[in-house]
Structure 1
Amino acid sequence: MDGLTRIECPWNRTAENLGNSVELQHVNLRVPDQLKATAFYISALGLTRDPYLLTGIDNMWANVGVSQFHLPTGEAQVLRGVVGLVVPDRAQLLHRLQTARRWLDGTKYGFTEAADHVDVTCPWGNRIRVHSPDAERFGRIVLGIPYVAFDVAPGTLPGIVRFYQQIVGAPAAIEGGEARVLVANGQYLIFRETDASIPPYDGHHIQLAFVDFGGVHAKLAERGLISQEDSQHQYRFIDIVDPEDGRLLFQVEHEIRSTTHPLFMRKLVNRNAAITNTLYATGHEALNWAMAPE
């Protein structure tokens, strides 16, 4: 129409698109020993046990910014890949990791330092790569799970990208030789091809929340991919398949919640792991998982 003024936009608006998946809430790994799990996840990594839910001795929820580890008691599960963490202070992390040796010697526990991360192995063999805060790489967080990276067979990345694009409705692309799937603000599932033997899937899972909860369910059900119907607000699937030919590409259980789920975006308590009974300052017990304004 005549007389309309076009305003030039100085920003890339598509950079803010999240897609259908809006929450990476937890990584679930069974652990045989809650005492050793406490020594590792709480004392060594500096995370926070949820003070409100699952406070018994048969399960533990460990808070990591807006996400969690869920650690029910059972035969050990090992994620086929690496969980990425961001923690506030590398020097304090290394001190805690060294101290934890006294509780975890004789297990698979260990850690190695690199220039920009610390690789840590849990008592049962789970690999965790710990980074320092870096707004350019991980967004404006000082504590969180920026990615979960899976080891997959050669030749599967294009089909994995198609699965998350076409069935899940999440932004996905192959970048730098790996498939990256945006599943929440600043949080990714990453798939990396390897020639190494991939262990059989043992039942560990991740949890996501979908805006189009019913639409994705219909696409999965049409292909026979729903593995469990949990409740009105939750279902699960395990198989990642190529939408073009139905070929099985990878397996990891996805616990899917709706945005009306009672636990969606639940606010989590995070402690400041630098505060102890011998190094204490009033009012500094809690940790804000996000960076302060610039």
Structure 2
Amino acid sequence: MVADIVSSTGQDVGGIVHFEHLNLEVPDLEQARIFYSEGLGLTLDPDTMGTQRGGLGVVWYNIGRQQFHIMKSNKGQNMPGNIHIVLPRLDLVHKQLEGLRGYFKGTKFNITAADGANGGLTIHLTDPWGQGFVVHNSDEDFPYERGISRIALHCPPDNIAALAHFYRTVFQARVEEAQDGSVKVYLGPGIRLTIFPDPSLDSSRDSLLSLYDGWHIAIYVAPYSHVFNSINDMNANYLDHTFADKSPTLPTALQNRQFRFQDIFELPGGARASHAAHAVPSTSGASLAEDAPAVNGSANSSTAVNGQKHGRLLYRFQHEVRSMHHPRFLHPLYNRPPGAEPFVPNQNTTY
């Protein structure tokens, strides 16, 4: 909204400067092509070969300055919440998606349309494997014509404040906490990870792990070495993955210009995070794992890892964290114009 953008902190971004892609696995790449390209109207990235994308079973779809990375697997992945995207000409998008009902018969594909909160059409969409999408023509302070504007996740209420504290401290991110208990973590200009408290979820380790099935996001950060050292200090650096960018040390993380983690742990002071719109974390050299609070007797308590302690698990999903020196930072992406007129020989075609 305009009022948010022109407020004193409305254009602050924080330490996370860009959310580049969301990676999802699907069992059928042809069905995915129909959904993303023919339904949503996204552009199959013309700038890369399979070897550059990670293999022939990986396809990239451009959406503004961002992408969906779709990988062939044996099942469709789902996150515990909706993916919010912004597209122009929702009248055309709605028509394109409605035309796919027959093709996707027998799958979880579904579509409903309603008037949006800010006027215009809003499309509520479920992909063939059950992942929810909300398609807008604009979304709060998201500044672009098209893109992934929000990732919305459901979370146990007890973990919300500690998650806000984690992103403020580790990423130096802009974080806002709302009166309804939700948290917005800014992943770039107007791009948000919104975490909602869900009373139906409990904060036990088993419950948290059941929410996650392998999807990941890729983000670019300004304080890259600070983020890596913070994650590495709490033994959360994730190396047990199939990708080539394993970065066990800061020198390898600098060489790769990226690293990964997936477990978000409670940090000191996490349960007492304030409702300030933005906080600047301490940048002292102290390890973030030191003196993390233990939850004695809990199924999700503080545990010793390599001689260090970290707090309880708050959430799990994989973050592909990239330096702004990464060669694909703000790489230009081609997006075809929205919609297309039907082919009529000798009428709208130049030979």
TM-score scaled by structure 1? 0.86
**Structure 1: runs of 5 or more not aligned:** 1-10, 283-294
Which residue of the other structure, out of 221, 225, 230, is the alignment partner of 1:219? Answer: 230
> 2:156 maps to which residue?
153
Aligned residue for 1:100, secondary structure, equals coil
> 1:111 maps to which residue?
111
> 2:172 maps to which residue?
169
Q: 1:196 to 1:39 in 2, by over 3 A?
A: farther
Provide the C-alpha distance between the structure 2 equivalents of 1:202 and 1:216, rounded to a whole number of angstroms. 24
> 1:187 maps to which residue?
191
> 1:29 maps to which residue?
24
Aligned: 1:203 with 2:268 = no
- State how many pairs are aligned: 270
> 1:251 maps to which residue?
316
Deviation string 1:69-112 (CA, Å, 9 cap, x unpaired) is 00011132112211100111221111011111232111111111
Q: 1:109 to 1:57 in 2, by over 3 A?
A: farther
Shift of the alpha carbon at 1:146? 0.8
Q: Which runs of 4+ in 1 moved over 3 A?
A: 11-14, 54-57, 196-200, 279-282
State the identity as a percent: 30
Shift of the alpha carbon at 1:234? 0.8
**Structure 2: runs of 5 or more not aligned:** 1-5, 117-121, 202-206, 240-245, 248-252, 269-292, 294-310
Provide the C-alpha distance between the structure 1 equivalents of 2:112 and 2:342, rounded to a whole number of angstroms. 28
Provide the C-alpha distance between the structure 1 equivalents of 2:220 and 2:34, rounded to a whole number of angstroms. 30
Provide the C-alpha distance between the structure 2 equivalents of 1:281 and 1:263, rounded to a whole number of angstroms. 37
Aligned: 1:124 with 2:119 = no
Which residue of the other structure, out of 324, 331, 336, is the alignment partner of 1:266? Answer: 331
Aligned residue for 1:60, secondary structure, equals strand
Root-mean-square deviation (Å): 2.0
Greater alpha carbon shift after TM alignment, 93-102 vs 24-33 = 93-102
Q: 1:281 to 1:196 in 2, by over 3 A?
A: farther
TM-score scaled by structure 2? 0.73
Deviation string 1:6-30 (CA, Å, 9 cap, x unpaired) is xxxxx75533221111110000001
> 2:95 maps to which residue?
95
Provide the C-alpha distance between the structure 2 equivalents of 1:267 and 1:237, rounded to a whole number of angstroms. 26
Provide the C-alpha distance between the structure 1 equivalents of 2:93 and 2:165, rounded to a whole number of angstroms. 38
Provide the C-alpha distance between the structure 2 equivalents of 1:107 and 1:157, rounded to a whole number of angstroms. 34
Provide the C-alpha distance between the structure 2 equivalents of 1:54 and 1:155, rounded to a whole number of angstroms. 45
Provide the C-alpha distance between the structure 2 equivalents of 1:83 and 1:106, rounded to a whole number of angstroms. 22
Q: 1:252 to 1:269 in 2, by over 3 A?
A: same
Shift of the alpha carbon at 1:195? 2.8
Greater alpha carbon shift after TM alignment, 160-169 vs 173-182 = 173-182
Aligned residue for 1:114, secondary structure, equals strand
Alignment of 1:38-49 (within 5 A): 38-49=33-44
* AA in 2 matched with 1:167: V
- Contact conserved, 1:161 with 1:172, CA < 8 A, in 2? yes
- Contact conserved, 2:89 with 2:338, CA < 8 A, in 1? no
- Contact conserved, 2:93 with 2:339, CA < 8 A, in 1? no
Q: 1:19 to 1:281 in 2, by over 3 A?
A: farther
Provide the C-alpha distance between the structure 2 equivalents of 1:53 and 1:249, rounded to a whole number of angstroms. 37
> 2:258 maps to which residue?
234
Provide the C-alpha distance between the structure 2 equivalents of 1:114 and 1:182, rounded to a whole number of angstroms. 27
